[in-house]
Homo-oligomer: A and B are copies of this chain.
């Protein structure tokens, strides 16, 4: 697990880390119970401040993605049930989808093309998961 970070993207560094850890967890590159790099190691690796790395992990913990144990480290949680209500989860996804739709509109990608693209990416995602879990 080695996140990498783009300092010029305008996206806060700690959020970039959050997204990458989530992606690794979702894709099976990180297994439940597996340890993440320590806050200090991550900070050194990415050449960021320790506080920034800690903030990323704090955010991940509050979202229920990882578990942090004082003095021991941070570990990927088993992907339990999300504590959020179903409607709330849909709303959050909808907000993200809306941004994609706007971008598709500007790129003049049609609705049907966008739908097929989603289907294709979903398939690719599931395939990657299969491969990982077969390791």
Contacts and interface: CB of A to CB of B under 8 A. Distances in A.
Identical subunits present:
4
Given A94-B117, A100-B97, A114-B118, A125 B105 contact: yes
A108 B11 contact: no
A40 interface: no
A90 B109 contact: yes
A59 to B, nearest CB: 9
Contacts of A10: 11-12, 15
A89 interface: yes
B6 A106 contact: no
Contact of A107 (B7, B92, B105, B115): B92
A71 B94 CA distance: 26
A76 to B, nearest CB: 12
A94 to B, nearest CB: 6
B103 A8 contact: no
A106 B62 contact: no
